[in-house]
Amino acid sequence: TNFGGRIVSFMVPDKAGKPTDIVLGYDSLNHYLHNNEAYFGALIGRYGNRIAKGSFQLEGRTYQLPINNAPNSLHGGPKGFHNQVWDAKLIDAQHLELQYVSKDGEEGYPGNLTAKVVYTLTDENALQIDYTATADKATVVNLTNHAYFNLNGAGAATINDHLLQINADHFTPVDSTLIPTGVLAAVKGTAFDFTKAHAIGDSLGSKDIQMINGKGYDHNFALNRTAAPGLQTAATVYAPSTGIQMEVLTLEPGIQFYGGNFLDGSLVGKQGKPYAFRSAFCLETQHFPDAPNQKSFASTVLLPGKTY
Ligand code: GLA
């Protein structure tokens, strides 16, 4: 849909060939308008994930963003890209181009920013998402997609049986408000070690302070990238009962693995199915959260004349 550039459905065959909708969402626009705190299927911008206290400095000026996830700013603010109507152009049956022009000062961010996203459904059953953006002033940009998946089908009880592999030896631990501490921590020997595939639910009972801060998995993983340019595999998820497998490839340095810890059954989705606690996962490819305030993280600054 052109509302938030949201993916509302994604049908794939299971091991018996039965078409299965693996993306959470609603049956009507009205539900998206009134229950948008979950960001179902949405394009996220101007800045994916959190900026500490909604404040950052750029070229000697301090910018203040709306605080919509106290005490921080989350996913571009309440009127972020997920809540905007994008201009949509169907290029052909396999390519949809979406464009949104975010005004200078909108949701506190500097510069007019033109964002373009092309969704491509490839002949290999891949969904490819190409993001570009340009600005007329220095700004910060971190675009992603917030689709929630359940590979047993949207509305199935849990994702904790899914086998997950994340190609990351390190992750970015967070404080109790989910802002990275700035440290890159080794996953080895922790609940965050998904270097070999295993069930998401295996370590959810861990007393690791990171599991307590995140209320489960809600963390950015620093991807192991080789020097080779181009897409590299970030994560693989497999649901044994349906045989559906998803691979995530990206150019980005990080991926947010969010295990649906804020779902509680109160949001009722497609076909009247409630979305229970941890009944979906998101794998949001991105630059690291709070990068505008963290000197050691790769920069998210976009300068005029450059293309994101
Ligand atoms: C991201 C965040 C989570 C949560 C969800 C939306 O994944 O990291 O903390 O806010 O979005 O509910």
Q: Using one digit for the tens of pLDDT, what is the confidence trace for 136-153?
A: 999 999 999 999 999 999
The reply to whether ligand 1 has any atom less than 6 angstroms from the CB of 213 is no
- Residue 17 tokens read as 């060939």
Measured distance CA(47)–CA(190) in Å, rounded: 29
The reply to whether ligand 1 has any atom less than 6 angstroms from the CB of 10 is no
Residues 6+ apart with CB under 8 A from 7: 23, 25, 41, 119, 127, 145, 147
Residue 37 is predicted with a pLDDT of: 82
For residues 220-248, average pLDDT: 97
Residues 6+ apart with CB under 8 A from 209: none
Question: Which residues are bridge partners to 220 per DSSP?
Answer: 172, 256
For residues 30-38, average pLDDT: 88
Give how far the C-alpha of residue 278 lies from the chain's centroid of Cα atoms, to the nearest Å.
Answer: 16
How many angstroms separate the alpha carbon of residue 87 from the centre of ligand 1? Answer: 26
Amino acid at residue number 272 = G
Residue 108 is predicted with a pLDDT of: 98
Residue 166: phi, psi to the nearest 5? Answer: -120, 130
Q: Is the pLDDT of residue 243 over 80?
A: yes
Q: Is the dihedral of CA 200, 201, 203, 209 positive or negative?
A: positive
How many angstroms separate the alpha carbon of residue 73 from the centre of ligand 1? Answer: 11
- Residue 173 tokens read as 């631990």
Strand 163-166 with 144-145, pairing: unpaired
The reply to whether ligand 1 has any atom less than 6 angstroms from the CB of 49 is yes
Sort 14 into a burial class: Cβ within 10 Å, 0-12 / 13-18 / 19+.
middle
Active site residues: 146, 284
Going by alpha carbons, the residue nearest to atom 9 of ligand 1 is: 218
207: three-class secondary structure by DSSP: coil
Report the alpha-carbon angle 219-225-227, nearest 5: 155
CA distances, 155 to each of 43, 217, 268, 285 (Å): 21, 20, 9, 23
Residue 35 is predicted with a pLDDT of: 79
For residues 183-212, average pLDDT: 98
Measured distance CA(33)–CA(27) in Å, rounded: 12
The reply to whether ligand 1 has any atom less than 6 angstroms from the CB of 44 is no
For residues 226-233, average pLDDT: 94
Residues 6+ apart with CB under 8 A from 93: none
For 32, the enclosing helix (H) or strand (E) is helix 29-34
For residues 281-292, average pLDDT: 98
How many angstroms separate the alpha carbon of residue 258 from the centre of ligand 1? Answer: 7
pLDDT band at 125 (very low <50, low <70, confident <90, very high): confident
How many angstroms separate the alpha carbon of residue 91 from the centre of ligand 1? Answer: 32
Q: Is the pLDDT of residue 36 over 90?
A: no
pLDDT digits (tens, 9 = 90+) for 45-86: 999 999 999 999 999 999 999 999 999 999 999 999 999 999
Tell me the percentage of the chain whose pLDDT exceeds 90: 98
Q: Which of 211, 221, 258 to mutate to test the pocket of ligand 1 (most atoms within 8 A of CB)?
A: 258
The reply to whether ligand 1 has any atom less than 6 angstroms from the CB of 255 is no
Q: Which of 43, 47, 75 to mutate to test the pocket of ligand 1 (most atoms within 8 A of CB)?
A: 75
Strand 50-51 with 113-121, pairing: unpaired
Going by alpha carbons, the residue nearest to atom 12 of ligand 1 is: 38
Closest CA to 297 of 46, 38, 43, 47: 47
Q: Is the pLDDT of residue 22 over 90?
A: yes
The reply to whether ligand 1 has any atom less than 6 angstroms from the CB of 256 is yes
Residue 8 is predicted with a pLDDT of: 97
Question: Which residues are bridge partners to 217 per DSSP?
Answer: none
For residues 157-161, average pLDDT: 98
How many angstroms separate the alpha carbon of residue 17 from the centre of ligand 1? Answer: 32
Measured distance CA(148)–CA(146) in Å, rounded: 6
